[in-house]
Structure 1
Amino acid sequence: MLVLRRVFALAPAEAMRPPTPPDFSHSLSFGPRLRAVLDQPSRMVLRNLIRQPGRAVLAVLGIALGMALSVSMLSVMSAFNKTLEVNFGVVDRSDATVSFIEPLGDQTLFALARMQGVLQVEPLRAVAVIFRNGRRSYRGSITALEAKPHLFRALDDALRPLDIRADGIILSRALADELAIEPGDELLVDVREGRRPQLSIAVVGIADTLLGSPAFMELAALNRLLREPHRVSGAYLRIDSAASDRLYREIKDMPVVAGVTLSEDSRASFQQQMDTGAGAMRYVMAVIAAVITFGIVYNSARIAFAERARDLASLRVVGLTRAEVGFVLLGELGLLTLLALPVGSVLGYYFSLAVAAGFSTDLYRVPVEFVPASHGTAALAVLSAAIISGLLVKRDINRLDLVSALKTRE
């Protein structure tokens, strides 16, 4: 809009005049020491940047934003992979999960433990509920575990085990924000199975979790509130890998078992879910970020060449070689690119936080942290784009028609 206003306000007679030569009477002067270090083309590069500081700042910001977009997408892709590794390597360390058709007595666990090939059994109980706090409600479930679980652990975003207490419930940060509830408040819980009682449970903790919007309780405490002692709705198993196929068939054929899920299958399903829908957009955005970054760098080089073609031709006429003329233009591009790298790295981190928040869902949160490899890869991509752009512009400099470039518009 600003450019169009200036165009529309320009008088036709003024527009037909040749451009007024810029006034460089107050240009930066270099002392004897700098002149001894910097040759003439280097001083020309620095003078041009200082003469047009606004343009230099905008060029640096443009390149930095392109790099920031690349950093954010690479960081988010690394975060998706970390979520997968944490879920199936740190949180869930079981080999299989067994779900019963209804809550059963814990003697069922002894039957599972006696099966040949089963190395460890850990109980759980998942209860479908509706959480209520005033006018706010959320349909979810309570996951009840042992006080010190080993196969499936409740961890916060720093991978620290949560203290599963018997005197209340621990909510994830996302669930607590949804319900607008704080530790110490009473949470109403409508149980959606069995006798469907309504419970009032104290919130004893809020944790930043990576996966979903869980609510954790101690198994015996939940059974006591439900008046159903020694009940479990499933179990986590650690099994001998050599007997996994046989155990899968035997457990699945048990009449009380609703389903058996192997961790390998769950991992593959979770990976597929992250690679489809919104998760697949991270690949598209990564490609777009690369294209935008190259476009910004190449566009900066082309504009600089178009604006200074006459000056470059004049330098060739007065005796500078093609290499020296190319350095005058491309040296400026290289210096701007180097200045943009640290700015793009800082902006990329904050871009990563915003993009990760957009990709996070009720099923999983995308954790973002400083990943040096992502910043290094994005920096190499920007440098590669600058080199390719420089080679393309250098080819145009070598093909420059001195006679046409030196002609003055009348």
Structure 2
Amino acid sequence: MSTASQVATHVSPADPAHPSVGAATSLLDAYAPGDHFLATPGRTLLGRGSGRHVPHDERPLTQRVDATLAEALAAGQDAPVVIGAIPFDHTAAAALSVPASVRTAPPLASDPLIALPADLSAGVEWRIRPVPEPEVYGAGVAAAVARMWRGEFSKVVLARTLELTSDAPLDLPAMLQRLARRDPSGYTFALPTGPGRTLIGASPELLVSRRGTQVVANPLAGSTPRSADLAEDVRRAATLLESVKDLHEHAVVVDAVHQALAPHCNGLTVPARPTLIRTATMWHLSTTVTGTLRSLDTSALELAVALHPTPAVCGTPTQTARQVIAETEPFDRGFFTGVVGWGNAEGDGEWVVTIRCAEAEERTLRLYAGAGIVSASEPEAETAETAAKFRTFLSAVGAEL
């Protein structure tokens, strides 16, 4: 696919968008494994070159990131940006770097060329292994619900995975193209997480952003699969807006976000009722929380660390939910339900909840999907919800359950 090569730099999401045709898609086309690619509704970023890696040591993550950015500035790097991924387990090592160079463009959704379909690659034969099996996952949901009825906790997010294996090497650029072109207004990423490993996905959920003193969070909780039939799709959306179970689940998450941001912000605005957002595969209940930062010393990453993990990806109470997850899920989540994003030395940035993603290595993809389990949850419905969430990535690689 041929696109213009001109790329704008240091574009602010608040600036009027008059991009050259192909400015954003040229970065998408230029991505190669090992690069840091991140597209948000505010900008498109492509980081290249080893640069500086944020170390893993006893210091708080925010201090390590600040020090790494300061080193880059002291070395003469112009406007350094940290990009990468933070795992679900806050004690595990993050995969954050300050690339040697970062090219920036307006958002993909503002580029007319994003409407062009992704090139079809040669068919790939996938071997798919669910971990755990759907029946085992359903049994885990039932066990969690029983514990909730006994009053042990009020919510837990339980995930399952699909392991996809191919005889051919993975075509990460083609996968990224399909993900980005299917939902260009979302958050699409491909980020190195270790030698030969890449975290790739398309998340609909902003954890928090900061631009100057403006703070925005957009928690999502409560969802239902889309339908190809228009009338049924609308019915499902309307039902979700009135679902007592989903509205309660959503309210718990919004309250947690409010409580975490309140010490850092003045004048937080929290709408009384959620609205709907849609992706290609799902409807989600959505609330946009906005506020004004009390101090510019508080970075976007510091806010993200204060928020993570929300009940939307873990549960409540948090520590109890973490324990239930560890006891129930037969795998390490790694970077799934962690955070991906970018931040600069001024403290601005965007950090996104790591969902609708896969970890890629050699000829293997591990896909992840989770569902929020509350006392009214039914194992069959939650298993079906995770299957629907897998569709985002399965469609990007030409696989089916």
Q: Which has the higher contact order (CA 8 A, sep 6+)?
A: 1
Question: What's the TM-score once normalised by structure 1's chain length?
Answer: 0.18
More strand by share: 2
More helix by share: 1
Whose radius of gyration is greater, 1 or 2? Answer: 1
Question: What's the TM-score once normalised by structure 2's chain length?
Answer: 0.18
